[in-house]
Amino acid sequence: MPNGTFCRLIKPVDCYHPLIATALRALYFRPGYPVGKARRLSAVETLFGSKRICVRTRAGFLFACDQRDWLQRNLLCNRVHEVEVSDLLARQLSPSDVFFDVGANAGYFTCLALSVGVQRVVAFEPDPLTCKTFWAQIRLNGWDARACELVEGGLSEQAGQLDLIRGSDSGESGFGDWPHRLPVGQIAVNVMTLDDYCASKDVRPTVMKVDVEGWELKVFKGAMKTLSDRRLRLITFEAEVDRQAQMTDRRLFDLLRSLGFGIEHIPRPSGSLKPTENFCARR
């Protein structure tokens, strides 16, 4: 596991000066602005170079955003990502929790858990480029890296190697043929099962967030022992839905129900329904 010395050795992300960042947010990323496409910041980039824009999120932690990425551009505009999931986790997480962030991306939900003050975070992210950004966010907030472990690899139903399909936005990257992804490349990465990881490290989650772009069933099939452990009380995950917000793949629903979880849709504050929605499984 990385320690405090490791975190200090991580190269900090190159961010605009706070005054410039404040001006950019006021001009281009005001609350309520459509997230839309990346802003044209050619004049600023000519003068100061292309850098990240820091924002203090609604939860209070800092996040260095690459405005070319949709998820991070959304943070610049709204200071929160997936407000319905963020609010649920902020309410439910406690200092005694061990939080597993499966599909960690640049680390937003890991940062949220650390800001709440959980006992430990274990994050899984298969893209090596995104992993570098993840650690930079931890350093930016001054957290001790001993409170967080990042597993640089993917999860599936069996160990091996898979092609990670990179999406046009980092949050779209993942395994398999996910219909909502615009592929821009791929790399081979190692994958393991969650059960194997937990057995090798002698650790069990109490709360999990799973966001793996259509690969959820594969992750759960490789985690049957972990899911059966009664210490695991809450899971948030994404699933494709129909017009009634019912999961189109009932295997996810049936698997979790068979293990004693009650499952409920987490509605968006706007009341809108998209092809993929968030769900909560709890017992």
**Structure confidence by residue, pLDDT tens digits, 5-34:** 445 456 678 999 999 999 999 999 998 788
pTM: 0.93
Q: Which residues contact 19 (CB under 8 A, 6 or more apart)?
A: none
Q: How confident is the model at residue 176 (pLDDT cuts 50, 70, 90)?
A: confident
pLDDT, tens digit, 9 for 90 and up, residues 80-115: 999 999 999 999 999 999 999 999 999 999 999 999
User: Domains in the chain and their CATH numbers?
Assistant: 6-78 (no CATH), 81-282 (3.40.50.150)
Please count the CA atoms within 13 angstroms of the CA of 213 that sit on its side-chain side.
25
Q: Which residues contact 101 (CB under 8 A, 6 or more apart)?
A: 107, 109, 110, 113, 121, 122, 123, 124, 208, 209
pLDDT at 4: 45
